Amino acid sequence: MSKGIFYPIYIVQGETLDIPFDIKENGVFLDMSTLTFIGQVKGTLPTPLAEFVFIDDDDDVNVMHAVIESDDTNITPAGVYVYEIRYSNAATNVRSLLYGSFEVKESFISTPTVDGQFVNSFTAPPEQDGMFRPIN
C-alpha cells in the first residue's frame, strides 16, 4: 500500500468539506469509474466520527470530490482527529491517497432556537481603532 499525501484539514462545525482531486499514474489520468473509494475521520474509538462521500465532478470526468456534508460536521465535536482516504482498483490494489490531521473548530455563528430566534454565542471584543468589528 502506498503512503499517500499528507494533507492536514481544518474545518468549522457546520461547514461542508469538498476536496476535488484527480489521480495520475505515470502521467496518465486514472479512470475514476474503475476505482472504489473510502474515507473516514476517526478519534480514539474505532467507530468513525464521519465518513467521506465520493461524488463525480459534473464538468470533468477526471475529477472526483471527497465530501463531508455540513450535517455531519455540525455534530462532530470540536477537536483534532485523523483521517485517511484510500482507493482500490479492479485488481484490488489498495492505495492511500490522502491522510493527516482533521481539526474541527467550534462554530461561533448564531444558531436558531426552538422559537426561531437566534442566539449568538460570539461575544465581540471591545471596540478598538483599526480592528474589524462585526455589525449587530
Quote the cell numbers at residue 63: 475529477
| Span 122-127, average pLDDT | 45
Distance CA 87, CA 98 (A): 10
Q: What is the pTM of this model?
A: 0.75
Amino acid at position 106, single letter: E
What is the model's pLDDT at position 103?
95
Please provide the average confidence, as pLDDT, over all residues in the chain. 81
Asked whether residue 112 carries a pLDDT value surpassing 60, the answer given is no
Q: How many CB atoms lie within 10 A of CB 72?
A: 18
| Span 22-27, average pLDDT | 86
Quote the cell numbers at residue 57: 465532478
For the structural domain made of 5-108, what CATH number should be given? 2.60.40.10
What is the model's pLDDT at position 116?
53
Asked whether residue 22 carries a pLDDT value surpassing 60, the answer given is yes
